[in-house]
Structure 1
Amino acid sequence: MKIFKFGGASVKDAESVKNVSMVLKSQGFTQCLLVISAMDKTTNALEKVVEHYFYKQDYQTEIKNIKQKHIEIAKGLFEENHSVFSEISLFFDDLDSFLRRNKSPNYNFVYDQVVSCGEMISTKIVSEYLNEIGFTNQWLDARDYVKTDNSYRDGVVNWEKTAELISQLNPETCYVTQGFIGSDDNNFTVTLGREGSDYSAAIFAYCLNAEAMTIWKDVPGVMTGDPRKFQNVSLLSHISYEEAIEMAYYGASVIHPKTLQPLQQKNIPFFVKSFVDPTKAGTKVGITDKNQQEESYILKENQVLLKISTRDFSFIAEDHMSLIFSFLSKYKIKVSLMQNSAISLALCLEDKFNKVDELNQELQKIFETGIIKNVSLFTVRNANMDHIDQFYHGKSVLLEQISKNTLQMVTQ
């Protein structure tokens, strides 16, 4: 079975959904499972619904606007009396009903129940359209197959349960399902982290022993840098799993960090291709003697630089490190870069749950701290060290680190 993942940009409007069918036609619509994201900007709009709900503002107008957007897309794909319109209305009625009766003060729990609606609606529209044009498929609720713990907004997959459920799917059937979501033991929705649809595709690929997995993007493949941020970048046609994992970890937006390891474990070939021109080869990630190690550039923005030292100028010892990392785990703050000296520790942090101020307050009870927000982490993979000076030009460098042929700097 083949796994295809289509992101929000590939299903942003009616014409884009039609283009998905053209991509599938070029690839052959047999024995495949499609993982579909929410339609373009829908997740952002639903996040605003959650914010308005908790701040007791008018969230219902936001819901109406999102509903209307999906109805307009459906009008470009179906006849007026098609059942998909009642399906769309039902999704939004359920969303409104949930928010009216909800008693939970847990922001992350409510977030997952609300934001996941984007994937549910987009997949229903795509599935119905494909069936309409003769691409027979079965719509799946991913929450019935991807089982997680109850770490809302950052679910941890229960691989044993998930594999048992997914392995029951018929490999001769084509399916359409959602990325980004699973469910806990109580069948409440749990999301897998922002941009987690790639990871969902890898979960299905792993559990189905897929012959290949392809992510369809609006770029030709994995580039040596984001073309929106860097000039003169080029396509990486072949890279190893290890190189792709490193690039994703350092912040390359084209691949979700958790995606590669399940594929690598079973040596499942992984392709990143363009839905604009599906005939082009794109990038292949896997084991091959053609793998490239080109100089590549990654910019990870909206980071936080936290500097920690002891009050008595004593060494940062193992017990200090253990305590600091227990706080980081408590607040679910990810370390993007770490550098320590005898009396201080510098951490470049990714604070996706906006908890760094709480972390800082807790640390200040024991340590001296300094914090700088809105910094960027610039990484150069396979850097040409003979021309290293060029990377510093025009940058205000707060922290730097060089290991092998990888240069990293935190800049302001």
Structure 2
Amino acid sequence: MENTVSAINVAKFGGTSVANFEAMSRCANIIENNPSTKLVVISACSGVTNILVELANGVKDKAGREQLLQELVDLHFAIIGCLQSPDEIIPNINEILAKVSQCAEQASQQSSTQLTDQLVACGELMSTHILSQIIRERGHQVTRFDIRSVMKTTSNFGNAEPLLDDIKISAATHLIPLCEENIVITQGFIGSDYNNQTTTLGRGGSDYSAALIAEAVDATGLEIWTDVPGIYTTDPRIAPQAKPIQEISFSEASEMANFGAKILHPSTLLPALRHEIPVFVGSSKEPERGGTWVKQEVESVPLFRAVTLRGNQTLITLKSLSMFHAYGFLAKVFEILARHRVSIDLITTSEISVSLTLDRTHTQGGAPQLPAEALRELEELCSVEIEQNLSLVALIGNNMGQAKGTAKQIFGTLEDHNLRMICYGASSHNLCFLVHESSARHAVQQLHRQLFEG
């Protein structure tokens, strides 16, 4: 018989939400305030992953390594020093820190993606020990659970793919029964392959892993606690008049995440969408301010919901006279790109040219690059023009291709901007265009003022 437990709510806390003792105490308050919260997924303490990545890249200078290790010690023991019974977890933390030191020394000789995953996972392994002890000291039954026994993945270190069937089976066997009697604290971002080697889902993968876990345990809800009170009509740092959104559909939120809204990882919503699990996004610093519910069905379906900005875009324009009224040209282009594992984001075509942007979901900073060999093969087929220093502005909404006057309202607002590429009509939920990065924020401000501040 399959193990089940009623009303499991999964709460996920990001790095800033577990940055110090005060922040972790606020997390404990949130967990206590919802008796259904039986499963808690957390990130490493703020700043820790960056230190671990630096060590993983290989610090040859021993003094430099020791300085970074001391930063890790200071950060974690500043929190541990506030505990009532710190000795309960100090041996565990010291054991993990010793592993960090050992792996950092190995990385100084020769770094690898496999070693990097072992190192960066240590941040989550330490933070879960600390938060578990904080909640335990409040009188609750707590189990700290190593998610690597459930989060089974491929061996693509640094960007592993989850194995959904294995995760579901392991969760039913190992995780769900623990939620009957305990609050379970576990790690985001990390997993393991069939050889029990540590893997990671990539930077930003903590939200994704929380959603995968919520799906695996048939959760009734998923809470994503971060440092902002929900999803806004745009980034308030760009447009101060941005408004909070009380509820938003999965389709709209997925578009927002994909097109630059940093509040959610682009992949986060997929598991929740598959099982129609409502997702709440709120601020662990100010939980009383409420937040945003992401649901399958929402009461309000406005024409315009939000405007997003995504920087570091790479635009590739391919031109060839042989494309004119010819068969197979695009097939050859995409065959080359597929062979070199180049993922395409947006695309527009004309009679003799095609323009496309490169997907940067898995790019670690900066604009994505076209592999040299792919560029060489494309240049044998056609002329290739590469442009960077571009940003993507996306307007998110509903039935945008059907509403009369939409294009005039939008493009009239942007008549002073040079729009390098426009994608409109392929989706009823978005309208996207590229502008030079120097004018991107101004374009967002103008659109927001026209469409959301009237």
Q: TM-score, length-normalised on structure 2?
A: 0.82
User: 2:45 aligned with 1:39, yes or no?
Assistant: yes
In 2, distance between residues paired with 1:374 and 1:106?
31
Which deviates more, 270-279 or 99-108?
A: 99-108
Alignment of 1:119-130 (within 5 A): 119-130=124-135
- Give the match for residue 279 of structure 2: 270
- Give the match for residue 326 of structure 1: 339
1:248 shift after superposition: 1.6
Q: Aligned match of 2:74 in 57, 61, 68?
A: 68
In 1, distance between residues paired with 2:412 and 2:188?
40
1:20 shift after superposition: 0.9
Alignment of 1:73-112 (within 5 A): 73-79=79-85, 82-101=87-106, 107-112=112-117
In 1, distance between residues paired with 2:184 and 2:293?
24
User: 2:221 aligned with 1:212, yes or no?
Assistant: yes
Alpha carbons of 1:309 and 1:356: their partners in 2 closer, same or farther (altered >3 Å)? farther
Q: Aligned match of 1:6 in 6, 13, 17?
A: 13
Alpha carbons of 1:54 and 1:113: their partners in 2 closer, same or farther (altered >3 Å)? farther
SS at match of 2:32: helix
Cα RMSD between the aligned structures? Answer: 2.7
Q: Aligned match of 2:188 in 155, 179, 183?
A: 179
User: 2:316 aligned with 1:306, yes or no?
Assistant: yes
Structure whose alpha-carbon radius of gyration is higher = 2
Alpha carbons of 1:323 and 1:105: their partners in 2 closer, same or farther (altered >3 Å)? farther
Residue segments in structure 2 that go unaligned for 5+ positions in a row: 1-7, 401-405, 437-454
Q: What amino acid sits opposite 2:331 in the alignment?
A: E
Alpha carbons of 1:13 and 1:98: their partners in 2 closer, same or farther (altered >3 Å)? same
* Residue pair 1:270, 1:285 contacting (<8 A) in 2 also: yes
Alignment of 1:241-252 (within 5 A): 241-252=250-261
User: 2:371 aligned with 1:347, yes or no?
Assistant: no
* Residue pair 1:311, 1:366 contacting (<8 A) in 2 also: no
Aligned residues: 406
- Give the match for residue 155 of structure 2: 150
User: 2:265 aligned with 1:256, yes or no?
Assistant: yes
Alignment of 1:23-62 (within 5 A): 23-28=30-35, 30=36, 32-53=38-59, 58-62=64-68
Which deviates more, 344-353 or 266-275?
A: 344-353
* Residue pair 1:210, 1:268 contacting (<8 A) in 2 also: yes
1:106 shift after superposition: 6.2
In 2, distance between residues paired with 1:24 and 1:45?
28
User: 2:390 aligned with 1:375, yes or no?
Assistant: yes
SS at match of 2:72: helix
In 1, distance between residues paired with 2:411 and 2:321?
36
Alpha carbons of 1:346 and 1:34: their partners in 2 closer, same or farther (altered >3 Å)? same
Q: What amino acid sits opposite 2:431 in the alignment?
A: L
In 1, distance between residues paired with 2:290 and 2:368?
42
- Give the match for residue 419 of structure 2: 397
User: 2:291 aligned with 1:282, yes or no?
Assistant: yes
Alpha carbons of 1:181 and 1:388: their partners in 2 closer, same or farther (altered >3 Å)? same
Q: What amino acid sits opposite 1:152 in the alignment?
A: F
* Residue pair 1:149, 1:185 contacting (<8 A) in 2 also: yes
In 1, distance between residues paired with 2:422 and 2:27?
43
- Give the match for residue 408 of structure 1: 432
In 1, distance between residues paired with 2:288 and 2:335?
51
Q: TM-score, length-normalised on structure 1?
A: 0.89
1:407 shift after superposition: 2.3
* Residue pair 1:37, 1:179 contacting (<8 A) in 2 also: yes
1:16 shift after superposition: 0.5
SS at match of 1:187: coil
In 2, distance between residues paired with 1:263 and 1:38?
23
Q: What amino acid sits opposite 1:369 in the alignment?
A: V
1:312 shift after superposition: 6.7
Q: What amino acid sits opposite 1:364 in the alignment?
A: R
Alpha carbons of 1:355 and 1:302: their partners in 2 closer, same or farther (altered >3 Å)? closer
1:207 shift after superposition: 0.9
1:22 shift after superposition: 1.6
Query: Residues 31-84 of structure 1, C-alpha deviation per residue, up to 9 Å, x if partnerless?
Result: 5100001111222222222234489993332222122211112213345x5232
1:187 shift after superposition: 1.2
Alpha carbons of 1:219 and 1:101: their partners in 2 closer, same or farther (altered >3 Å)? closer
Alpha carbons of 1:104 and 1:397: their partners in 2 closer, same or farther (altered >3 Å)? farther
Query: Residues 132-186 of structure 1, C-alpha deviation per residue, up to 9 Å, x if partnerless?
Result: 2213210011111100001112111111111111112213132000111111111
Alignment of 1:206-245 (within 5 A): 206-245=215-254
Query: Residues 202-243 of structure 1, C-alpha deviation per residue, up to 9 Å, x if partnerless?
Result: 111111111111111222211111212233211221212222
Q: What amino acid sits opposite 2:13 in the alignment?
A: F
Which deviates more, 341-350 or 124-133?
A: 341-350
- Give the match for residue 195 of structure 1: 204
* Residue pair 1:238, 1:292 contacting (<8 A) in 2 also: no
- Give the match for residue 376 of structure 2: 364
Alpha carbons of 1:395 and 1:74: their partners in 2 closer, same or farther (altered >3 Å)? farther
In 1, distance between residues paired with 2:281 and 2:251?
16
Alignment of 1:160-175 (within 5 A): 160-168=165-173, 169=175, 170=177, 171-172=179-180, 173-175=182-184
Segments ≥4 residues shifted beyond 4 Å: 54-57, 101-106, 310-315, 353-358, 393-396
